[in-house]
């Protein structure tokens, strides 16, 4: 049997370069050789402040971005998390996992600090639901960004604990790493994030939008010279350059930096061109799918059907092993 792959993207609207490199590139790399399920995780999206009116539209945006990026519905099943029994499995798994471990997770602490008035049970439960997402499909490999490693550790702990209490059932899921899995924020601190305005470039941004985002990215005076810093605005621009631009370009700007001659306007212009060059084919493909809503609906219906078979089979097995009536 082929190994299973699962990954999910929160339904918070259109994807940005951080999602693209952290998760989507990995999904694309795996879809040819593995049995893949890729999900729009809407239930995770509602753990932080959101608009109920926009949720369905945001789910659709992620689906379109998946297809635009080149996920092939013939090779992988696309699912919308809330349509499958993830919460059923999550509840069952939550009964074997300690609250104290969840309270200690860095991701939970960060969200608590970010939304002090929105510290809800769902936020604490987030990693259990994520473990259920993965274990529902018995996935071995999970293409996600490095910031998700603590959550994957929870998934592995839950898998191990379940297997030891109720018999061998789940594989221990491993993260699939991609090149460029940590895309820094354009603001010079932290990662590119949908919830931090000005920090990201969206996959649908045109050349002018990309240029104006980059224009706001902080730099230094450009006259210090010496080695390129390891963190901050300039470091981040060079990280992006390494992902999108040619070796010749990188070497040239590095040399200019070292000689204290760098012109950031130039660097940002070249970078904007190179990012746009990569995104343009995606944007064209996106338009094709946007113009065929029925096709997208059919893709989702087929994905749902494929996922239901796998998901309900795992759920029945788990209930049975836990002594809960399956009927
Ligand atoms: N927590 C992930 C993120 O923020 C999204 C996610 C939810 C996920 N469930 C998942 C990723 C299962 C991989 C597998 O990026």
For residue 250, how far is its CA from the centre of ligand 1 (angstroms)?
33
For residue 134, how far is its CA from the centre of ligand 1 (angstroms)?
9
pLDDT at 247: 97
Residue 181: pLDDT above 90? no
> CA–CA separation, 135 vs 321, rounded Å?
15
Taking residues 311-325, report their average pLDDT: 97
The pLDDT tens digits for 125-145 are 999 999 999 999 999 999 998
pLDDT at 13: 85
CB atoms within 10 A of CB 318: 22
pLDDT at 131: 98
- What is the chain's mean pLDDT, rounded? 95
For residue 258, how far is its CA from the centre of ligand 1 (angstroms)?
40
Ligand 1 atom with the shortest distance to the CA of 139: 14
Ligand 1 atom with the shortest distance to the CA of 81: 9
Q: Are 176 and 167 in contact (CB under 8 A)?
A: no
Length of the chain equals: 327
For residue 176, how far is its CA from the centre of ligand 1 (angstroms)?
13
What is the distance of C-alpha 123 from the center of its chain? 17
> CA–CA separation, 268 vs 244, rounded Å?
12
How is residue 192 annotated by DSSP? -
pLDDT at 180: 80
Q: Which is more confident, 146 or 72? A: 72
Q: Residue 279: which H helix or E strand, with range?
A: helix 264-290
CB under 6 Å to ligand 1: residues?
6-8, 10, 41, 44, 130, 133-134, 142, 144, 148, 151
Atom 6 in ligand 1: residue holding the nearest Cα: 8
For residue 252, how far is its CA from the centre of ligand 1 (angstroms)?
38
Atom 14 in ligand 1: residue holding the nearest Cα: 7
> CA–CA separation, 214 vs 40, rounded Å?
28
Q: Are 51 and 127 in contact (CB under 8 A)?
A: no
Residue 179: pLDDT above 90? no
Ligand 1 atom with the shortest distance to the CA of 9: 5
For residue 10, how far is its CA from the centre of ligand 1 (angstroms)?
7
- DSSP string of 154-185, one letter each residue: HHHHHHHHHHHHH-S-----EEEP-TT--PBP
Ligand 1 atom with the shortest distance to the CA of 143: 13
Q: Are 120 and 147 in contact (CB under 8 A)?
A: no
Banded pLDDT at 222 (limits 50, 70, 90): low
Q: Within a 13 Å sphere around the CA of 314, how many CA atoms are in the beta-carbon half?
A: 26
Banded pLDDT at 89 (limits 50, 70, 90): very high
Query: C-alpha distances in angstroms, 58 versus 8, 71, 110, 275?
Result: 14, 18, 23, 24
> CA–CA separation, 185 vs 239, rounded Å?
11
pLDDT at 3: 94
Ligand 1 atom with the shortest distance to the CA of 133: 12
The pLDDT tens digits for 66-79 are 999 999 999 999 99
Residue 287: pLDDT above 70? yes
For residue 148, how far is its CA from the centre of ligand 1 (angstroms)?
7
The pairing of beta strand 4-10 with beta strand 35-41: parallel
Q: In order of start, what are the domains of the chain with their CATH numbers?
A: 4-182+293-321 (3.40.50.620), 207-286 (1.10.240.10)
The residue whose CB lies within 8 Å of the most ligand 1 atoms, and thus the one to mutate among 89, 130, 145, 154, is: 130
Radius of gyration of the chain (CA): 21
The pLDDT tens digits for 258-276 are 999 999 999 999 999 999 9
């Amino acid at each position: 049997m082929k190994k299973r792959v699962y990954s999910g993207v929160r339904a918070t609207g259109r994807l940005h370069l951080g999602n693209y490199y952290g998760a989507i590139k990995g999904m694309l790399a795996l879809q040819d050789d593995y049995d893949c399920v890729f999900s729009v995780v809407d239930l995770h999206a509602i753990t932080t402040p959101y608009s109920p009116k926009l949720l369905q539209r945001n789910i659709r945006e992620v689906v379109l971005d998946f297809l635009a990026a080149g996920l092939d519905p013939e090779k992988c099943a696309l699912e919308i998390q809330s349509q499958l029994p993830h919460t059923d499995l999550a509840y069952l798994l939550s009964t074997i996992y300690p609250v104290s471990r969840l309270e200690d997770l860095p991701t939970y602490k960060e969200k608590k600090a970010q939304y002090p008035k929105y510290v809800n049970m769902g936020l604490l439960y987030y990693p259990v639901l994520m473990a259920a997402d993965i274990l529902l499909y018995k996935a071995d490999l999970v293409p996600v960004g490095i910031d998700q490693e603590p959550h994957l550790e929870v998934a592995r702990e839950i898998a191990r604990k379940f297997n030891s209490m109720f018999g061998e059932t789940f594989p221990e899921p491993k993260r699939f790493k991609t090149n460029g899995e940590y895309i820094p924020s354009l603001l010079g601190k932290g990662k590119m994030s949908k919830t931090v305005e000005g920090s990201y470039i969206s996959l649908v941004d045109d050349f002018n939008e990309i240029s104006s985002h980059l224009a706001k990215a902080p730099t230094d005076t450009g006259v210090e010279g010496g080695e390129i810093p390891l963190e901050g605005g300039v470091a981040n621009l060079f990280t992006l350059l390494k992902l999108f631009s040619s070796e010749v370009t990188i070497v040239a700007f590095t040399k200019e930096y070292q000689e204290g001659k760098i012109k950031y306007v130039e660097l940002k212009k070249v970078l904007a061109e190179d990012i746009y060059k990569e995104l343009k084919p995606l944007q064209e493909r996106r338009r094709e799918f946007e113009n065929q809503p029925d096709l997208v609906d059919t893709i989702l219906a087929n994905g749902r059907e494929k996922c239901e078979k796998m998901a309900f089979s795992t759920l029945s097995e788990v209930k049975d092993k836990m002594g809960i009536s399956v009927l």
